[in-house]
Chains A and B, each alone.
Chain A
Amino acid sequence: MKRRDFMLAAGTAAGALMLPRMSFGAEGVIDVYFSSDQNVIDFWTNVVKPKFEAANAGITLNLVDGGDGAGVAAIGDRALAALASGTDPQADLFEGFDTRVTVDGIAKGLYVDFETAGLSNYSKVNPLAFDIPTNLPYRGSQVLLAYDTTKLDPANVPKTWPDLVAWIKANPGQFIYNRPNKGGSGGNFVRRAIYEVNGNDPSLFTVDNYSADKNDTMLKPAFDMLLELAPSLFDGGAYTSGNTQSLQLLGQSAVTMIPAWSDQALSAIAQGVLPETTGLVQLQDLGLPGGFTKLGVLSNGANKDAALKLADFLLTEEIQSAVLTELGGFPGVSWDYVSPELRERFADLIPQTIPNFPSGEWEAAINDGWYRAVAPNVDPAS
């Protein structure tokens, strides 16, 4: 290697980078950070971005993949620090993000309160999807059971919770769900168990009615049930660390059945991660809960107004219909606000029966309670 040539090349490259760089969020460019998977970013790239930019001349979207929840959460913390110092956070909108994650963020006014933001389409949002005023739901999806039809005849597949529990116990080692805090498929499986021990009545749970005594009366019995299930799970009670790992175990036919997000399962089948012989089924007595994906808009972003315009745009019939047809998800608005023809077409799937477990304080209580009560090797008495 000619060392001098190399040094020259490296020097030139470094020099080019030393030129003054724009370090402020550019005017008219909305920085959108994603925690969702590639298929959602593709949806934004191919559908949302061209449509929005066509309708709003002079505004462009910069779509930044945050990789996972932690990546976007870090940018949220950075934005909070920017708020304190009055600097530019270089971020405007977070997709697939719960604004609670930024500790103190809501209290300090980091996120726009959508109730007072004056979005023209805000009233269309599905009432079931509401969480807190700084989270704007814009699309939904459901958790299903995905199973290997070569090992389990679709005719015999469990269709109610008691059947499912009976099947798991009759087929030890063939079922696994992921840790409830690491991906909604396991999380909603745990929540379905919670419904089961509370008379399958989703109305008992609202976003703000958690209290410590409910932990004992409403959550503990469910954890007991799950603990009893543990020996019949894969490897006598192992729990994968995310939706993805569960899908991979099913794909390698190490297990026969897992709970899975509908859109992830479908795209996994399309990409060949899961074989075509994968079956999907929803419980009939009460579905596994679904979830809505939320947006947060930063109140100190350089393009806050444009970002709010974008948020409003996402709730229009045009985009909400595309969520159904292009993304394979559910609309975030009430079904009355998608075109009648689509409502007809998806009548079978209409997730009005799919419960949506509220977040709020329930979330932390379930996550921590599960680790302490259900996960193995822990003596609950200690």
Chain B
Amino acid sequence: MAATLTHRKIDWTGIAFAVVLTLIIVFPLLVVGTWAFTNVWRYPSVIPQEFGLRFWEQTLARADVWSSITMSLTLAFTVTALSAAICLPAAYAFARLDFPGRNLLFFSFLAGHAFPKFGLLVAIAGIFLQLNLIGTFWGVVLIQLVGTLLFMIWIPVAAFQSVDRRMEEAARDVGASPLRVFWSITLPQAGPTIAAAILLSFVGTFYETEGAWLIGAPQVRTLPVLMISFINNQPVIQYGAVLSVLLWVPSFIALLFARRVVNSGSFARGFGG
């Protein structure tokens, strides 16, 4: 197998990518990360004049930081799970079934993303006011759920469409039930793409601020809502830097593991490595 061969070779392409991306992606983040541990850093010093944890103490001492982290995580999990539950069947239907109005309905999901949010959100808030959803957890879930629909439908539709139909038909020919075909043939092939969509929805939900603020205030406070108030119009950048570093470490570790999901291990290596 090619696998055994490529392991011996040095992955020069990869090293080149790693170096360039480290420069482009990590370097700016490193600067922000450094700011989080800085009390004073002014031109023209290459390293900060004064390191310190002053802003960590100020940030972590706030009770609302911790409660909002829990709130944000719970929200993001709930919204992503609900979104997957309602969107994946819909995506399958759009990809495989024909029904009246299919194209138009598929297209309608574009509206939420292409139309600017201001005004729209206020109109939604008006609807929610009458349903007593303002300032409630489920109100925020609903508004964020709407925000995930485009990703959770369009991307999985592309996935379901590119599943090899011949394999499905072959499985059906040997007598597998439609559910079994879906479970053992369709889903594994569409899996990586769906995982990508779920990841996008989760992160998108986690960092969503406008809806969370407009629908959630004053009772529901998510972390980004808190961050916005820390960061905007605030000459001190360290608060935002501290909160970012707090969130980056777990994200990066998660991403290293996510490779298994996204790349799903079912491919061998081709060229370039």
- Spell out A's residues near B (CB within 8 Å): 10, 13-14, 17-18, 21-24, 31, 33, 37-38, 62, 64-68, 71, 74-75, 77-78, 81-82, 84-85, 87-91, 183, 242-244, 247-248, 251-254, 264, 267-268, 271-275
Across-interface contacts of A65 in B (CB, < 8 A): 226, 229
When C-beta atoms are compared, the residue in chain A nearest to B64 turns out to be A65
Q: Which 8 A-B pairs have the closest CB atoms?
A: A81-B126, A65-B229, A67-B229, A67-B228, A68-B232, A77-B122, A87-B129, A273-B235
Looking at A67, A74, A88, the one whose CB has the most chain B CB atoms below 10 A away is A67
Whether B233 contacts A244 by the Cβ 8 Å rule is: yes
Whether A268 contacts B43 by the Cβ 8 Å rule is: no
Across the interface, A252 reaches (CB within 8 A) one of B43, B138, B217, namely: B43
Across-interface contacts of B122 in A (CB, < 8 A): 74, 77-78, 81
Whether B135 contacts A87 by the Cβ 8 Å rule is: no
Across the interface, B233 reaches (CB within 8 A) one of A31, A37, A274, namely: A37
In B225-261, the 8 Å CB interface with A consists of 225-226, 228-230, 232-237
Whether B229 contacts A23 by the Cβ 8 Å rule is: no
- Spell out B's residues near A (CB within 8 Å): 39-40, 42-44, 50, 70, 74, 77-78, 118, 121-123, 125-126, 129-130, 132-138, 210, 213-214, 217-219, 225-226, 228-230, 232-237
Across-interface contacts of B42 in A (CB, < 8 A): 251-253, 275
Across the interface, B121 reaches (CB within 8 A) one of A74, A253, A267, A268, namely: A74
Whether B125 contacts A77 by the Cβ 8 Å rule is: yes
When C-beta atoms are compared, the residue in chain A nearest to B44 turns out to be A253
CB distance from B220 to the nearest CB of A (A): 9
- A31 CA / B134 CA spacing, docked (Å): 14
- A375 CA / B33 CA spacing, docked (Å): 34
When C-beta atoms are compared, the residue in chain A nearest to B127 turns out to be A81
Contact A90/B134 with A31-B218, A81-B122, A271-B236 known, Cβ cut-off 8 Å: yes
Whether A78 contacts B134 by the Cβ 8 Å rule is: yes
Across the interface, A78 reaches (CB within 8 A) one of B129, B130, B228, namely: B129
When C-beta atoms are compared, the residue in chain A nearest to B52 turns out to be A272
When C-beta atoms are compared, the residue in chain B nearest to A34 turns out to be B229
When C-beta atoms are compared, the residue in chain B nearest to A68 turns out to be B232
- A67 CA / B223 CA spacing, docked (Å): 12
Across-interface contacts of B74 in A (CB, < 8 A): 10, 13-14, 17
Across-interface contacts of A31 in B (CB, < 8 A): 218
Across the interface, B213 reaches (CB within 8 A) one of A24, A74, A272, namely: A74
Whether B218 contacts A62 by the Cβ 8 Å rule is: yes
Whether A85 contacts B217 by the Cβ 8 Å rule is: no
Across-interface contacts of A271 in B (CB, < 8 A): 235-236
- A33 CA / B219 CA spacing, docked (Å): 12
Whether A243 contacts B70 by the Cβ 8 Å rule is: no
Whether A90 contacts B126 by the Cβ 8 Å rule is: no
Across-interface contacts of A275 in B (CB, < 8 A): 42
Across-interface contacts of A248 in B (CB, < 8 A): 235, 237
Instruction: Please name 22 pairs of A and B residues whose Cβ atoms are closer than 8 Å in the assembled complex, sorted by A.
Output: A13-B70, A13-B74, A17-B137, A18-B138, A21-B136, A65-B226, A65-B229, A66-B229, A71-B229, A77-B125, A78-B126, A78-B134, A81-B123, A82-B129, A82-B134, A85-B126, A87-B134, A90-B134, A244-B233, A253-B43, A264-B235, A272-B39
Looking at B123, B132, B233, the one whose CB has the most chain A CB atoms below 10 A away is B233
- A85 CA / B130 CA spacing, docked (Å): 7
Across the interface, A90 reaches (CB within 8 A) one of B70, B217, B233, namely: B217
Whether A14 contacts B78 by the Cβ 8 Å rule is: yes
Looking at A37, A71, A85, A274, the one whose CB has the most chain B CB atoms below 10 A away is A71
- A66 CA / B39 CA spacing, docked (Å): 26
CB distance from B181 to the nearest CB of A (A): 25
Across-interface contacts of A13 in B (CB, < 8 A): 70, 74
Whether A90 contacts B135 by the Cβ 8 Å rule is: yes
Contact A87/B232 with A21-B136, A74-B214, A253-B42 known, Cβ cut-off 8 Å: no
When C-beta atoms are compared, the residue in chain A nearest to B71 turns out to be A17
Looking at B50, B77, B135, the one whose CB has the most chain A CB atoms below 10 A away is B135
- A84 CA / B214 CA spacing, docked (Å): 17
Across the interface, B232 reaches (CB within 8 A) one of A14, A67, A267, namely: A67
When C-beta atoms are compared, the residue in chain B nearest to A39 turns out to be B234
Across the interface, A244 reaches (CB within 8 A) one of B126, B132, B234, namely: B234
Looking at B40, B218, B229, the one whose CB has the most chain A CB atoms below 10 A away is B218
CB distance from A103 to the nearest CB of B (A): 10
Across-interface contacts of B118 in A (CB, < 8 A): 74
Across-interface contacts of A74 in B (CB, < 8 A): 118, 121-122, 210, 213-214
Across-interface contacts of A244 in B (CB, < 8 A): 233-235
- A65 CA / B233 CA spacing, docked (Å): 12
CB distance from B189 to the nearest CB of A (A): 23
Across-interface contacts of A89 in B (CB, < 8 A): 129
- A243 CA / B232 CA spacing, docked (Å): 10
When C-beta atoms are compared, the residue in chain A nearest to B137 turns out to be A17
Contact A37/B234 with A77-B125, A81-B125 known, Cβ cut-off 8 Å: yes
